[in-house]
């Protein structure tokens, strides 16, 4: 399969890690929904992007060198629920100041905010395992990923039925089916994300790992709120 534009851009820059914007663009190309976003190179551009998107918005640090945004620079890397130009400018200023102090070249990603309280956060991932080849995984996401370690795995590719079966194996399935009056998630939409991540790892030899955490699963669908794609290096591909 021909190389996707985000992968090609990273290759030209000599990178094996895609930015969040590049990762989400790649996900969109295979049919996975993401929030609408824009990348800004300064605070004024961030404020303009927020006005175009509509409030509230989320502002995040955007750089290949920063993969754990919420932990970066004492929490400066992510600001959520921003509802005014002043709040966006302050969040962007904080990111750029922290980046300057650390000697890191960054942009900021501004995206529409989603109400995480309306759904369940799920992790969906894919990787190229040395023994099994392309593998896809799913589990309880967000801050609970490492706490509960509730994940299921399948060798990719998977069809929609197999993807849904994998989700139904999770101990957290009750959270997705309307536990204690919560809105039931659209399991078919979530299964589609699992299926498409599997397809992504199968179809693009350059993709070593995909990490979408969280996917927000609601009754209205499934949207990738954060994403990281890691590429194989040239030596890996030469030896494949």
pLDDT-derived band of residue 240, with 50, 70 and 90 as boundaries? very low
Residue 182's pLDDT is 78
- The sign one gets for the Cα dihedral 20, 25, 28, 29 is negative
The set of residues, in sequence order, having a beta carbon less than 8 Å from that of 119 and lying 6+ positions away, is: 183, 185, 216, 217, 218, 219
3-state DSSP helix/strand/coil % of the chain, to nearest 5:
45, 30, 30
Whether residue 238 is predicted with pLDDT greater than 50 in this model: the reply is no
Q: Considering the chain, what is the average pLDDT of its residues?
A: 92
Please check whether residues 122 and 56 belong to one and the same domain.
Answer: no
Residue 1's pLDDT is 54
The tens digit of pLDDT for each residue in 186-226 reads 999 999 999 999 999 999 999 999 999 999 999 999 999 99
Q: What's 63's domain CATH number?
A: 3.30.1490.20
CA atoms within 13 A on the CB side of 12: 7
φ/ψ region of 118 (left if φ > 0, alpha if ψ in -120 to 50, else beta) reads alpha
Residue that is last in its domain, among 112, 141, 160: 112
Average of per-residue pLDDT across 63-77: 94
Task: Give how many domains the chain has, as a whole number.
Answer: 2
Residue 2's pLDDT is 66
Q: How far apart are CA 225 and CA 148, in angstroms?
A: 20
Query: CB–CB of 186/218 below 8 Å?
Result: yes
Please check whether residues 86 and 189 belong to one and the same domain.
Answer: no
Query: In whole angstroms, what separates CA 135 from the centre of its chain?
Result: 17
pLDDT-derived band of residue 146, with 50, 70 and 90 as boundaries? low
Whether residue 147 is predicted with pLDDT greater than 50 in this model: the reply is no
Please check whether residues 209 and 172 belong to one and the same domain.
Answer: yes
pLDDT-derived band of residue 96, with 50, 70 and 90 as boundaries? very high
Where does the chain show beta strands of DSSP type E? 37-40, 57-62, 78-82, 107-112, 120-129, 133-140, 151-155, 207-218, 221-224, 227-231
**Helix, strand or coil for residue 86?**
helix
Q: What are phi and psi of 150, to 5 degrees?
A: -100, 90
- The residue with greater pLDDT, 144 or 130, is 130
pLDDT-derived band of residue 178, with 50, 70 and 90 as boundaries? confident
Q: How far apart are CA 144 and CA 116, in angstroms?
A: 14
Whether residue 144 is predicted with pLDDT greater than 80 in this model: the reply is no
Domain hosting 72: range is 37-112
Please check whether residues 26 and 45 belong to one and the same domain.
Answer: no
Q: How far apart are CA 120 and CA 143, in angstroms?
A: 11
Average of per-residue pLDDT across 52-67: 96
Please check whether residues 122 and 154 belong to one and the same domain.
Answer: yes
Please check whether residues 120 and 194 belong to one and the same domain.
Answer: yes
pLDDT-derived band of residue 229, with 50, 70 and 90 as boundaries? very high
Residue 11's pLDDT is 96
Closest to 30 (Cα-Cα) out of 171, 224, 213, 175: 224
Q: What's 153's domain CATH number?
A: 3.30.470.20
Please check whether residues 206 and 133 belong to one and the same domain.
Answer: yes
For 217, other C-beta atoms within 10 Å of its C-beta total 27
Please check whether residues 76 and 98 belong to one and the same domain.
Answer: yes
pTM beyond 0.85: the answer is: yes
Residue that is last in its domain, among 94, 112, 130: 112
Please check whether residues 65 and 164 belong to one and the same domain.
Answer: no
For 96, other C-beta atoms within 10 Å of its C-beta total 20
């Amino acid at each position: 399969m021909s190389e996707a534009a985000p992968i090609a851009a990273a290759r030209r820059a000599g990178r094996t890690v895609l930015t969040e914007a590049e990762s989400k663009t790649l996900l969109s190309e295979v049919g996975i929904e993401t929030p609408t976003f824009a990348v800004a190179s300064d605070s004024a551009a961030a404020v303009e992007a927020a006005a175009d998107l509509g409030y509230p918005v989320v502002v995040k640090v955007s750089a290949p060198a920063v993969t754990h945004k919420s932990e970066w620079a004492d929490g400066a890397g992510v600001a959520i629920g921003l509802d005014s130009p002043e709040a966006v400018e302050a969040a962007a200023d904080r990111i750029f100041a922290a980046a300057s102090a650390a000697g890191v070249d960054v942009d900021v990603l501004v995206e529409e905010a989603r109400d995480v309280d309306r759904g369940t956060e799920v992790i969906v991932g894919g990787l190229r395992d040395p023994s099994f080849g392309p593998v896809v995984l799913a589990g309880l996401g967000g801050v609970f990923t490492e706490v509960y370690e509730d994940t299921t795995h399948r060798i990719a590719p998977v069809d929609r039925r197999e993807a849904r079966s994998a989700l139904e194996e999770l101990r957290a399935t009750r959270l997705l089916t309307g536990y204690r009056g919560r809105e039931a998630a659209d399991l078919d939409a979530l299964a589609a994300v699992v299926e498409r991540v599997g397809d992504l790892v199968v179809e693009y030899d350059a993709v070593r790992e995909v990490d979408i955490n969280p996917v927000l699963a609601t009754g209205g669908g499934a949207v990738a709120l954060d994403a990281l794609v890691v590429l194989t290096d040239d030596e890996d591909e030469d030896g494949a």
